[in-house]
Structure formats: structure tokens, C-alpha cells
Amino acid sequence: MKLKDLLQLVDETNKNTEATRRYNKRHPEKVKAYLEKTQDDRVARNRDRRKAVKKHGKTYMANKDVHHPKGPHGGKTLTVKKDHGPDKKK
């Protein structure tokens, strides 16, 4: 193996997605439990997104997210720009 290939392989293994995949593969019972625990929240967020698309239209919502200031079951929702939270991509 060339040094360039080796460096590329090391770089790929350090990426967040690779680390997440390795974790998920090693701990399937934890992943399953987490998905079951958070299912109601995902259902509520998806429902609110559908309502916003119905209210504002698909074109308007293309670059928007539905924000839940008090959590997915808090009642009030806001329409905000995509990529707006603390994990904002740079």
C-alpha cells in the first residue's frame, strides 16, 4: 500500500459517519432501544412538518425547517431557515 492510500484510509475511518456506523454495528440492542424510545418524537416532528408544508406550500418549505421551541410535544412550532441549530454546518 502506498502512503497516500494509507492516509486516505485513516482519514475515512476517523470521520463521524464511520464512527457512528461502527457504534451502531457493535451495539444493535442500544440502537434499537433508542429508536423505540424516540419514535413518538419522530412521529410528532414528521406530522408537524407535513402540516407546515400543507399550510405554506412545498416550494416555501424547501429551505425551511419546523422548529419546536418547547420540544416536539410542546404545541407551538416555528418555521425557520434550514441548518439553524447548534449543530449548524459551516
The DSSP call for residue 76 is -
The dihedral sign for the CA sequence 32, 33, 36, 37: negative
DSSP string for residues in 25-70: HH-HHHHHHHHHHTHHHHHHHHHHHHHHHHHH-TTGGGGEEEE-TT
Taking the complete model, does pTM exceed 0.85, yes or no? Answer: no
Per-domain residue ranges of the chain: 17-90
pLDDT exceeds cutoff 80 at 51: yes
Mean pLDDT of the chain: 86
Q: Which grid cell sits at 53? A: 408544508
First to last CA, the chain: 34
Provide the percentage of residues in the chain whose pLDDT is more than 90: 47
